[in-house]
Structures are given as C-alpha cells and as structure tokens.
Amino acid sequence: MNEYWEYILQPEDDGKKYQEILSRRFHFSHRLLQTLKQGERVWVNDKFTYLTARGKTGEKLALALQLREESQIRGENLPLDILYEDDYLLAVNKPAGQVVHPIPRYPEHTLGNAVTGYWERQGEPRPFRPVHRIDRNTSGVVLIAKNHFAHQQLAWQMEHGLVEKIYLGFIHGHLLEPQGIWNGPIGLAEGSYIQHAVRNDGLPALTHYRILKTYAEVSLVEFILATGRTHQIRVHCQFSGHPLLGDDLYGGDTASIVRQALHSFCYRFHHPATGQAFAIKAPLPTDLRNLGHLLMSQHRVSR
C-alpha cells in the first residue's frame, strides 16, 4: 500500500501556506485538513512540517492519508464482484436484490457487510464509505472510497457534476425521439414514504436518455444522470409513460423480469489521487442479458 499522497509544488504555489494549496488546488475539506493536523501527517522533502507553513517551488509535499480506522459494520464472508481496486478506490458490481448499506430492515447480507468482511480478511479494516448508492433491485457499479480523502474528493466531483453516471434499462414501448432530456422535479408522492413522483415543488431532476435498441414493444435505453434524486430514472420513466420493465412500484410489468430492468453500467470520473480520467464499467448481469435474448426472439416472431 502506498502510504503517502505526494505533490510537487509549482511556481504558482510559491509562498502560499500548504493548507491553502490543498484547499484551493485540490479541494481538501476543512474537516480533512483538521484531521491532517493531528499527529505527524504532513511532510515536505521528507521532513515533518505544519500545514500553516509556507511552501516553495519544487518542494515535495507528502501527506499520510491512509489512516488505520475501524468499521462500525459487521463483516461477512459474502460473494463480491470486484471491478477495480487500488489504494484509494474499490469498485464493485452489485447484484440485484442486495442493499448497499445496512439499515434496520436489512441489517445483514448487504454490500457494506460484504466489503467490510473482504477488507478484514485482507488485514486492512476500514469504514465502509460508498460514494453513491443504487436501489436494492438495481444492479451494477458502486464506487467505494477506501479513505476519507478519496471519499471527500469524489463527493466534491459528484457535487460539481464531474462524475458521469450511465445506466442501461429496458422500458415499455417506444419513445417518440431517439434521444432527449427529461426535466421534471422529483419529491415524495402524496401519502407515501417510499414512492416518488414528478411534482412542481420537488427537487430539480435532469435525465438524459438515448435509445440503443428497439424490440416489438420494448426499448433498451441509455440514461445519463445529471442529478441524483431518489428513484430518478424510475420516476422519469413512469412520468414519460414508459416505465421500466419489472418495476412494479412505478407501473412496470413483471411478467418477463421480477425486478426493475435497470443497471448501473458505467461511472466516469477523475481519480482522486492522480487526477487521471477513469471509467468503471459493469457488464449486464445474466437476468438482463436473458431478457434481451427473450425480447429479440419475440421480436423476430412478431415480424
């Protein structure tokens, strides 16, 4: 494991406090900077220093970001489909039917239990820090930060619209336009604590869609989320008159699949440590591939 995050000070950093450089250039939060002030965690040219000291061009600033932390979640030895892992990130392909984080209704067998157990077996216990969540019956990519720094950096990217979230889904019917934007504010449906709906007093919600394939009475659609509201794609599909197959909460038929036919396919972002452009993809799971084969065979028969 690489214990230090390093940066070589540039001419524009000359004379500035290290904490100012980290805050303005790398968006370090106040909380993270306070954490770094506890103990010897900041080094310049291999010598301990304080964040309030001023830097010089060419100096090597090194931060001890990999702190040993304990998880509050009980680890379990569960299957885990790892798509990518390094010192800062873990990306997994979550199966449909699994909750991301333990809650009173689902206290065990969650992705959090699986990831915590995996890290414990590696001898590296740490808190479970998902950067985002997907619904229990949605499959696909979930990004997990392995330390406070990575979580804060990715959360900043999410907040500023720098993370591209791409989903694939099978919807009822055919859309009039091959691509477009659904712009409908979302809030809780009247009288419900679970179901959401497009409503004037809701939070802004923007979904880009593009038709990838059409079948007899179904379309395979790519969705790109510009916002991240609860059930956003599911709600916008219902509001458009084309609910997701299998989504019984939002009017989808469950004859061909028993869960919403929605998959978190790809996340594009910049690596929190290197700034490198990154893309994590998860292939369609077996049930959605089988659904596609079924729809194709039905389409051929109908023709």
Distance CA 250, CA 243 (A): 6
Task: State the Cα–Cα distance between residues 240 and 191, nearest whole angstrom.
Answer: 22
Q: Tally Cβ neighbours within 10 Å of residue 231.
A: 22
**Does residue 59 sit within a domain?**
yes
Domain span holding position 187: 164-265+288-302
pLDDT in tens, 147-198: 989 999 999 999 999 999 999 999 999 999 999 999 999 999 999 999 999 9
The CA distance from 36 to 4, in Å, is 12
Predicted pLDDT at 301: 55
Phi, psi (degrees; rounded to nearest 5) at 300: -65, -40
Mean pLDDT along residues 89-115: 96
CA distance 207 to 37: 41
For residues 185 and 297, membership in a common domain is answered with: yes
152 contact partners, CB below 8 Å, separation of at least 6: 27, 28, 29, 31, 32
Quote the tokens at residue 242: 């084309």
**Token pair for 108:** 């065990």
Domain end call among 64, 99, 116: 64
Domain count, the chain: 2
Q: What is the pTM of this model?
A: 0.89
The pLDDT mean for the chain works out to: 93
Q: Indicate whether 21 pLDDT > 60.
A: yes
Q: What is the CATH number of the domain that holds 35?
A: 3.10.290.10
Beta bridge partners of 82: 92
> DSSP code of 55?
P
In a domain, 279, yes or no: no
Residue 159 lies in a domain: no
The residue annotated as part of the active site, out of 14, 46, 87, 135, is 135
Instruction: Determine, yes or no, domain membership for 30.
Output: yes
The residue among 13, 35, 64 that closes a domain is: 64
Q: Judge whether 205 lies within some domain.
A: yes
What is d(CA 135, CA 206) in angstroms, rounded to the nearest whole number? 18
> 127: Cβ–Cβ under 8 A, 6 or more apart, which residues?
69, 70, 71, 72, 73
Q: Tens digits of per-residue pLDDT, 207-235?
A: 999 999 999 999 999 999 999 999 999 99
Predicted pLDDT at 74: 95
pLDDT tier at 300, thresholds 50, 70, 90: low
CATH number at residue 242: 3.30.2350.10
Closest CA to 260 of 133, 189, 170: 170
Residue 144 lies in a domain: no
In a domain, 105, yes or no: no
Residue 52 contacts residue 44 (beta carbons within 8 Å): no
Is residue 275 one of the residues assigned to a domain?
no
Q: Any catalytic annotation for residue 135?
A: yes
pLDDT at 144 over 70: yes
Could you tell me which residues are beta bridge partners of residue 17?
Answer: 54
For residue 2, name the pLDDT band (cuts at 50, 70, 90).
low
Domain termination site, one of 64, 80, 95: 64
pLDDT for the residue 297: 87
Q: What is the pLDDT of residue 66?
A: 74
Residue 172 φ then ψ, to 5°: -70, 135
